[in-house]
Structure formats: structure tokens, C-alpha cells
Structure 1
Amino acid sequence: MQNSPRSTRPVATGALAAVTLAAAAVVATGPAQAVVGGTEAAPGAYPWLAAIGTPAFAMRPAGQFCAGALIAPDQVITAAHCAVPAQQTPEALTATFGRDDLSATGGITVGIKSIRIDPRFRVSIFDSDLTYHHDLAVLTLAEPVPVTPVAVTTPRGDTGTVVGWGATTDGDWANSRLHTVTVPLAADTDCVTAYGTEFDAGEAFCAGSPTADTGEFDSGGPLLVDGKLAGITSWGKGSAQPGYPGVYARVASTTF
């Protein structure tokens, strides 16, 4: 979801410099997210969840700036707006699994071999904020990981679960703990009321409330229904803003 403006830039070289600056730009210019109103996730509850980052992005624990979900032994799905800046330098990114606290060590960290962006991905504007359409990308890992991928489903029912290492309040860059919260799924008509023509039910759905939402640095992370992946955290106006639920890219229809 929305990202807050950023002014600090770390010093790096080569491909890492480019991706670091691009990651900071993602944080600075687009909608960000963080799990707001949640609680710490149970240890080991989401082994397929990836923290996506770059070692040079020192402003965040483990260089994390987005998240993703393992959908095959060597493939992670995330938001396109997280991956586009590194499309030409995928080796500058890493994906870390099995680390509930990013300030700790452990888990499995692997490099990224290639990035595939949904060819329909595009960026537009809503009320001075960037909005994303068909906001999906698949990262191919440098090697398979010994983790069972998450199953995929369609959004249905009244609630879903969001998970992420993002900010728990506005401007929180320091959180390193994995959080989760139950969010209400919004009707498509409510999304149209909130976002007008910027919302397309064919490629996205909405969820969240003023007390439960994703937030900054949660972009690319999962929205789960019955433990299965239904959506990818994409964008929204603010975080936990009344009348503006978060927007999630639909995963089940992914064909790129």
C-alpha cells in the first residue's frame, strides 16, 4: 500500500546502488503498507513467506522493503511495483524465508535469477497517489528452497488474513517482527465508491478497515483466505484510512 516520502539514501555501488535507489523510490512514490492493528505471528507459521530486499538498503532490517509468497520451489510472487526497479539487475535482490524477526539471523536467504512482470502492469494516479494495475511479478530464485509453497485460491467469504514485517504505525521504519491481522473483505461496490475508475474488480479486490490494514513495507505480501493465497498487497489511500480499504491484486487469475 502507500509509501511515505523518504529523503535518506544509503551509499552503494554498481547494481546494488541502482536497486537501493530504486527501492527507496518505491517507498517514496507509491502506495505502501504495514500490518496495522495486528499481533506478532506465531513462530514458523508462514515458512513460504519471503522478505524481499537488497543488502544495500540499510535503512530497513535485513534490507527488506517488500514481501512475497513462494508459489513453486523456485518462484516467488510479489507486487510488480516492488520488482520493476530491479528488473534489469535481479541479482541485486534477495528473498529470505523462515525469519520471523528480520533483525535476527537464521532462515534461508537466496538470490534472484530473473524477474517476470505481468505485461499488463501499469501505473496511474488517484488523488495525487500512485495506483497500480495488474500489480504482479514472479521472481525466479537462484535455486529452489526446501519449503512447501502456499496454495492459491480466490477471495471469498467475509474476512482474510494479512501478514508482513511492515510499519505498525505511520513512519515506523524500525519494526522487524512479523505481524498478522484479520481484515474484512470489502464488496466491490465499496471499492468503486472509494476509488472510482481506478478500481477494477477484474484484477483486484479490497480489504481492510480503520483498525486492521496493511501498511508501509508490506507491499507484495499475501492476503490469505483459509490459509491460501488470494491476493497480493498492492496499494491504497493511506493505511487504515476510513472509507479507503487496501487494494490487493488477484492471484488466482495470474496467466503471465
Structure 2
Amino acid sequence: MAITRPRLRTLLGASLAAVSLSVTGFGVASAADETAGDPVETRVIGGERASIDDYPFTVYLATPTGFQFCGGALVAPDKVATAAHCVEGSSASDVDVVAGREDKQGTDGDVVGVTDIWVHPDYVTVTSGEDVAVLTLETDLPYETIDLAPSADDALYTEGNEATILGWGTTETGSTSRYLLEAVAPLTSDATCSDAYGNSFGSDSMICAGYPEGGIDACQGDSGGPLVVDGVLVGLTSWGQGCAEAGYPGVYTRVGAYTADIQAQINS
């Protein structure tokens, strides 16, 4: 799928109701329509099928009609961490969380409603950071949760660490995936990411992953999904230039920078 503008792993700028009418952007659709000037796209490019049993904390966000538009990570039985741009401006009733389901056309797993959406109060746009949100579910889910990257553990973010990208977003075919996909790419250095994105990259709130030659990346529909290193949630799919383009690694919310904020929501 040819992408000529920057990507947000989902659609930005409008309500979930509009997503079914207009689907574009990185991360297939965010909770909002895409807004001009926002880099948006999201999918797993260069990935392969994954078993939900191996990644039981991986969930997707859907409209009440079942349209999948973003991903997320179960960080407590009743809490899901995702990207702010997926749910900004949306009502809790606009979002369902689907867990324990590998095949989007399946009926296994659980579909639960959302009772509250917390979006980081400083979030403005993906390139300014703070692209993190926490959803409170109407009931606890019986699946294994994932630990958050400790705020002081910089070793998890070491350049070259293998990171697993997970999602149901757009693939090389140009369509979103029916099945959960996984792909592995190395974390890049902050300098490499800064060279690619200039002042749009903030090392205090973002981390990048990808190969210099491209080929493996998240894309539309993957926004908010987990980036995992050593079984720990280190990132949430956020934005990037195109999908899997050479010289443009994917950009992820640096979860360690927001562990205290997310934990506060878990404890609330």
C-alpha cells in the first residue's frame, strides 16, 4: 500500500462514528478521523501470524458495530493501555475492547464495554508526545496482563534490543489483517530516530524500532498496540513516515516515561 504522507497508526481527528465512513491513516483507524498535518498510519508489515495464547494481553479496540480501529495492551484485569490518538474525543460508549480473540471474524474471547477513558492531559498531537491513554473496562478480563517498563530501567531501551510488534493492522496487501500478526525489529538509538524525524522526535517520550532498510513496521490499524521487549511493555504504536520505509523507523510511545501515570489509573 503506497503511503505518501506521514502515518499515525490510526485515524485521527474525528469521532468513532466517522471511522466507518472514512478509513485512512497509519494504524488503520484511530478513534478519530485523520486531521490534516497529523502523521498517521499503522499496521504490521513483514509480520507473520501470532497465537493469542502467546500474547494474551494483546487486545483490539472496536466500534460497537465490530470495526477494529486500534490495538491495546491489558495492563490490569480491567485496564487497557493504548494510544491517546486512538480515543481522544471519543465517548466510552463508542469503544469496545476485544480480548482473547486471534481471528477478528471469530466469536471466541470476550467483548467488553468501556466505562472511562483517560487521555494524558498534555496530549495534543502524536509528534508532541504524551500519546498514551488508559481505558477502564466494565468488567475484569480473565487474561494474563503485561508488566509496564519500569520508569528507571533504561536497559530495556538499549539500541539493538529485539522488540516484538503486535497488531491486526494493514499489511503488505493494503488491507488490515484478519488475524493477529507479530513482527520483530530492533530498537534504534535516539540519534537514529532524530535523524529521521528531526524535532518531531522526542527522546523523553518516544522510542523507535525498525531496520535501516525498512521492511518491518507497524501500520494503519496497529496504533495503540504493544511493543514488547523481554516480556515487558516498552512501547505503544504511535506514528511514523509511511509504513516500513527505508530510513524511517516506527515511532512508539515510550511507556517507561508514563509508567507512573498508567499505574495511577490502574490504582484508581
- 1:167 maps to 2:170: yes
Q: 1:55 Cα deviation (Å)?
A: 2.6
Contact kept, 8 Å, 2:10 with 2:42, in 1: the verdict is: no
User: Hey, what's the Cα distance between the residues in 1 that align with 2:227 and 2:52?
Assistant: 18
SS in 2 for 1:196: helix
- 1:20 maps to 2:17: yes
Gaps of 5+ in 2: 1-5, 24-31, 150-155, 262-268
TM-score, structure 1 normalization: 0.84
1:72 — aligned with what?
76
Equivalent residue letter for 2:44: V
- How many aligned positions are there? 232
User: Hey, what's the Cα distance between the residues in 1 that align with 2:220 and 2:41?
Assistant: 4
Equivalent residue letter for 1:20: A
- Identity percentage of aligned residues: 37
Equivalent residue letter for 1:2: R
SS in 2 for 1:134: coil
2:232 — aligned with what?
228
Contact kept, 8 Å, 2:9 with 2:239, in 1: the verdict is: no
2:93 — aligned with what?
91
2:137 — aligned with what?
141
* Partner of residue 107 from structure 1, selected from 106, 109, 127: 109
Return closer, same or farther for 1:246/1:55 CA change in 2, 3 Å cut-off: same
2:221 — aligned with what?
217
- 1:81 maps to 2:77: no
- 1:150 maps to 2:146: yes
- 1:250 maps to 2:254: yes
SS in 2 for 1:229: strand
- 1:2 maps to 2:7: yes
Equivalent residue letter for 1:193: D
- 1:47 maps to 2:39: no
Q: 1:148 Cα deviation (Å)?
A: 2.1
Equivalent residue letter for 2:18: L
Q: 1:42 Cα deviation (Å)?
A: 2.5
Equivalent residue letter for 2:168: W
1:28-55 CA deviation, whole Å, 9 max, x = no partner?
Answer: 4441211111110024211111110103
Cα RMSD of the aligned pairs, angstroms, is 2.3
TM-score, structure 2 normalization: 0.80
